[in-house]
Amino acid sequence: MNPARSDAYDVLVVGAGFAGAIMAERAASQLGRRVLVVDRRPYVGGNAHDRLDEAGIRVHDHGPHLFHTNAQHVVEYLSRFTDWRPYEHRVLAAVDGKLVPIPINLDTVNRLYGLDLDAQGMEAWLAQRAEPVAETRTSEDVVVGRVGRELYEKFFRGYTRKLWARDPSELAASVAGRIPTRTNRDDRYFTDSHQALPADGYTPMFERMLDHPLIDVALSTHFDDVRGALRWGHLVWTGPIDDFYDRRYGPLPYRSLRFEWETVPTPGGALLQPVAQVNVPDESIPYTRTVEYRHISGQDAEVSTITREYPSDEGDPFYPVPAPENRELYHRYAALAEADPDVTFVGRLARYQYLNMDQVTAQALVTFERVRARLAQAHAGAAGPFHPTARS
């Protein structure tokens, strides 16, 4: 990757995650624009950044990132920059002193209640417990409507309250609606057709995306560090949209996580937990899950690295909070963004959407096509150092 070599670029991209890296790669390779990517963090990859830790284990700094998708065009695009290593994620939940599969499946119910149901039996069992919900609006509605209140309380209420600092009844149905219920024994977390990780890690994939003669990359560089000194033609913003507008309507809420890391000896290459991720719904325990990275990296080693995730309001913005009042506030910012032809907002923070990596990839590819003509005309120095309309 090239360091910054100029004070004028056709396109300035803020953020080196999926959204920013893809927009930069497209603008350079498809349109021949000169691009500078800045990121306030000292590395590329955004929240998907990974690295080898001191013990040589490949870890994900911002929580486990499992790539899965049904979108063939997304796989094809990313495959230009990486090979893949198949990986299917499995998760157990610590409930009633047992470790049982989540998403809830036939084994979850049989093991938890000492039953021997088959698929039909489980359907009938659930039908007796599911509560009729007139209109499925919230995350509580979606779960009690599927599995009833008891399983909701065992698996969802505490976990969700810890992660989001809100009751599921205050969160959009789409949050817990991400987790299916199964009456078979499939214990994979995802069922998408493509479940694989970049063969040598996410960070090398991003480095290859950004390795282009027309792309420069400035790390440990906040937008505010360069906005007065640089000139650019078009700005691509992938940070929080409220940050761009100096929070003039008030801050959009984001949840963050604090990670507690531990590397412990595992003689003979043993693993510490049976699967990569163990969820802890019990509200009296402050962390939500433990993640053992060797399951994900597939590495053999005499040590193993594990994290515990403590949800927090402080720290990097990780999760936009899907609730109606936040959506309304976002729309006020989005109206400012729509009125601004020289700035493109793309990605999870810029659109304030709880999106997976494949969805952000698809969004960036579509967004690039939508603004292609504008980017093609962007010339170094047409806008910036101060953007005339966007920032007061």
Instruction: List contacts with ligand UDP (CB under 6 A).
Output: 93, 102, 155-156, 159-160, 163, 175-176, 178-179, 279, 281
Taking the complex as a whole, how short is the minimal distance between the CB of residue 107 and ligand UDP, in angstroms?
Answer: 15
159 binds, among ligand UDP, ligand FAD, none (CB under 5 to 8 A by kind): ligand UDP
DSSP 174-196: HHHTTS---SS---BS---SEEE
Distance of CA 244 to the CA centre of its chain: 20
**Nearest one of 180, 184, 186, 179 to 117, comparing CA atoms:** 184
C-alpha dist (Å) from residue 195 to 69, 191, 229, 323, 352: 7, 8, 43, 29, 25
Q: Rounded CA gap, 95 and 114, in Å? A: 14
Stretch that binds ligand FAD, among 46-54, 173-181, 260-268, 299-307 (CB under 6 A): 46-54
Q: Is 357 in the site for ligand FAD (CB under 6 A)?
A: yes
Q: Is 239 in the site for ligand FAD (CB under 6 A)?
A: yes
Stretch that binds ligand FAD, among 40-48, 72-80, 329-337, 382-390 (CB under 6 A): 40-48
Q: What is the dihedral of CA 192, 193, 199, 202, to 10 degrees?
A: -40
Distance of CA 249 to the CA centre of its chain: 25
Q: Which residues contact 373 (CB under 8 A, 6 or more apart)?
A: none
Among 138, 288, 356, 367, contact with ligand FAD (rule: CB under 6 A): 356
33 binds, among ligand UDP, ligand FAD, none (CB under 5 to 8 A by kind): none
Q: Which residues contact 225 (CB under 8 A, 6 or more apart)?
A: 38
243 binds, among ligand UDP, ligand FAD, none (CB under 5 to 8 A by kind): ligand FAD
Q: Is 226 in the site for ligand FAD (CB under 6 A)?
A: no
Taking the complex as a whole, how short is the minimal distance between the CB of residue 354 and ligand FAD, in angstroms?
Answer: 8
Q: Which residues contact 226 (CB under 8 A, 6 or more apart)?
A: 12, 36, 38, 218
182 binds, among ligand UDP, ligand FAD, none (CB under 5 to 8 A by kind): none
Give contact residues for ligand FAD (rule: CB under 6 A).
Answer: 14-20, 38-41, 46-48, 62-67, 222-223, 238-239, 243, 257, 318-319, 347-349, 355-358, 360
